[in-house]
Amino acid sequence: MVTIATANVNGIRAAYRNGMGEWLAQRTPEILLLQEVRATDEILEGLLGEGWNSVHQACDIKGRAGVAIATTLPFKAVRVGLGNGEPEVPVDTGRWVEADIELPTGETITVVSVYIHSGTAGTPKMDQKFAHLEKVDARMRELLESGAHVVVGGDVNIAHQNVDIKNWKGNLKSAGFLPEERAYLDRWFEAGWVDLGRRHGGEGPGPYTWWSNRGQSFANDAGWRIDYQLVSPALAELASNVHVDRADSYEARWSDHAPLLADYAL
């Protein structure tokens, strides 16, 4: 089995101060997809320690975004960003990194760590999100057409259906739940991508992966399911033990997101 975990760490330095290192030692995934790293390569590598290979795209805007892939397995190739060889606009940096990883069997798996803009409805930030989603959409098509085993994991910042957000009625006009955003997920699933969190999580509501720090959102499980492992069809059939690793209490969390893990029979 190969275990893949994806986690928005909400700042990796703070996450490690709050217990992420202990969690990682207990869960021991072979592949770790990280979002909102908000640190340098050197800081990331220092926190992970020996035994990890990593590729990281920091955001050009200090203190924002940042995505990484860390693995105990060898890299065969890495690709950073969605600029197709051209510089990306700063707000799009730190949001997409992919790697081909060599498995113990000699096979290869392609993994992506993705962090899509949160957006704010009715503002230029929403235009930036949709512009970036168009680039993501094009790459998702290419990856699916490649026929490779692919996992696109991370914080997509879009809840797909009513069961993916506790207060869906109150968020129909909110970024992260707009019909135009949800349509991208519809398109990906119709094309063949498999949403492991929903396939293995039942009909819902939930299981959620992010909770606001306001009020009693975590205690009341008033969350959003916005962290995904989107998987190519053949690989999805090899997945098991897919689960949201929700902390036992608010105090035990090391991020405002919970990790999503899956085992793959590879």
Residues in the annotated binding site for Mg(2+) = 8, 36, 155, 157, 256-257
Q: What contacts 131, CB < 8 A, 6 or more positions away?
A: 92
CA distance to 14, 211, 251, per residue, from 152 (Å): 25, 22, 30
CB 236, CB 151: distance < 8 Å: no
Residues that constitute the known binding site: 8, 36, 155, 157, 256-257
Sequence-distant (6+) residues with CB within 8 A of 12 are 20, 34, 37, 38, 39, 43, 44, 47
Per the residue annotation, which of 16, 92, 115, 228 is the catalytic one? 115
Instruction: Catalytic residue, from 155, 164, 195, 227: name it.
Output: 155
Whether the CA torsion 258, 14, 177, 194 is positive or negative: it is negative
- Indicate if 257 belongs to the active site: yes
CA-wise closest residue to 120 among 78, 176, 159:
176
Residue 66 tokens read as: 């940042």
The yes-or-no answer on residue 115 being catalytic is yes
The residue with tokens 């955003």 is 181
Active-site residue (options: 117, 160, 200, 257): 257
Show which residues are catalytic.
Answer: 115, 155, 257
